[in-house]
A and B are shown apart, each in its own frame.
Chain A
């Protein structure tokens, strides 16, 4: 009976998370388009609903009703699998992201996270890596040159930055003494981990930009050279899932993990603890600010070459991550 209850609660919770993430991602597209527009001194979508507020819904309807073409020469199984492989792992990272402390409503204790695994961070890293296989599969299965080049570029970027990302996350783990994201947040009540881990934070920012294919590292799409890269052969909603997964869901979820690791999760901002704002609102404010930072970077910078990207990964980011581990170790020895 208890098992059944757990299953029902988990199902409901997962549905809420997934639907919320879908709607959230839809509106993140609007946010991005508005931001991009204003950066370029144009207003962005404006006419569907008040100030373009219903534009994501119109876009979703349009993309869903588009003709879904599958080219003859593609590898059918991988072709279908690729869009799912890009999308599902990205949303599965949500399973380990805690959005706040457990709280009680009407005598029922509600935990605003799906699971509190003791290897949560590793799981998030693993899913983040798997979602990149979607891009590589798409490049291979399309049986076309541009997607192939895009997929291979993504693989090259991935190999460099996964290593650096893994090492960069060691710092907060060392300070918290746990892989569980909830315990990492609880360890930051007095001081955020950004203080000794500033190098790791820089590395993580670069790694997230590289992993989600946002601008300085968007070599796998590179619309000027690769006509859209790995999505060249895709149409309809299969095409729509890739940017949805990569640019919005993955960026959002990885921002959430960065906030948890470096900015104290749902702890209030310093000197603002007296404000009557619930914990999860603090969390979403921080995630939103970080997401906006990624948008800002995206709509500012031009693209690196592939060799520059790998050079940056191996010659700069990896040593920085290792140096961060050293600094944190000394910090722990001195300050306990």
Chain B
């Protein structure tokens, strides 16, 4: 596998500008002759599709939801980072870059992260002009807050609904183009495969979820912005429909998949309450600004109501272990610390599967200091949400929280231009791997999605198209397209015909149990090897005994889930294999064999690289390749938040 990162030469601060100046252009009159397919309509997809159409390209955009406005970017609560330095607290592009690369535990690509920090300021300009109602100060200028793991206030926010407001901004830009006829929008369409012609990505095959029609679409370039794979764990904060199918199908067609074992576990989620639970709900990390995290010092106190546990019998473990960051320690650190105290038997809340998996997030000190009205003004909607789900009033008793899978840093391998190793296949947003390394800092996912969509892909895709002859794209009647359509139809028919005894959800739950227990916050060799064997057996069972009800010619949610679970099963094996072969602890990925008295021990000498996996065939284990991470201006140090 040829992995050329194409990082431009020159000092870090000049790379993007120098590179942009060299990227080729397409004459405005010729742009309409090129057809761009964008898959996914979240921040990256909507922003890219709208921007391409404004430039004059012919664009088709696909999403599985009933409207592009529903993509899961909408659920991001906390905020978006930008190096505006409006607070005069010493922020700069260089500092945002340094925080992000350190937050990623030095496993991200330096040049990409620097570019991300550079374009962050333009994102805020763009969104404000679109009418995104960011929080304001009384003078009318933009407000900021500090957010998980940062020592400056650089996070812009719109109440607890920042993702929603940014997505509506991108959706409105996209909608304008749909109204003008420059973007053709296909909702309730799921990408089920990628079509290659002469080794280049030239189209996709989709299934119309309403009619069941399987169709092919040809284009000059394919841009995949289909989000992450958190649902491989079954329970996650992702939407129910989030899946790995689009990126995994591209992987099966030859695209390298980088760092699949990098997943982010978010510390502030509502704990699991029972067997029939379908989803974990995130409570914004901003709660940690004023809430204090604790568990009882003594196991015997765990079953008591919080109010009956005296102050001196409480262990504020984040403040104890990480005095300089305290409750604001980065996500991976806070998550692992919570898991540790629960594993010690000091968790709180109800017993599920024989364990109490929860820690308190207590606002009593904040209510005493600020008053209940101020706490309500800051977090009222989150307290309401918590009460609605748990039936408990967090003004009167502490919230209970536990870590949950939230974001996936791994994704399709891309070069500096966000192009995968398949020419003509570009990947944006959470679906690619490049910017967050082994851990993502709060408020940087929205930043990356919009950076890719608005300010990177329009330049780099144009450069690619300048090298493709206009009008040279194949017809979707070409044999390559017909062959892929046949593959997709065969697979759908196979899923419908097995007629076994167990539902797709049964397999999804079984898959999640294995991956969460063996490839979650802490991993070891024996557990991962066992997980790979278990997943292989589960996959075999799936293809013999799954029962998919419904028909192929109408809305068939079970068929949709079955197809996604089938890909997750293959993907889960690759994820565990990636975790097994990364013999170090980095970010939230704790290999128990590699630690310094409980703190993660990185191995820069052997693992300062991205692991890139290549599909080798049905039922085979994928092959591992590496892209060494070259740090030109960054000194690798041990991350310490003590």
A and B physically associate: no
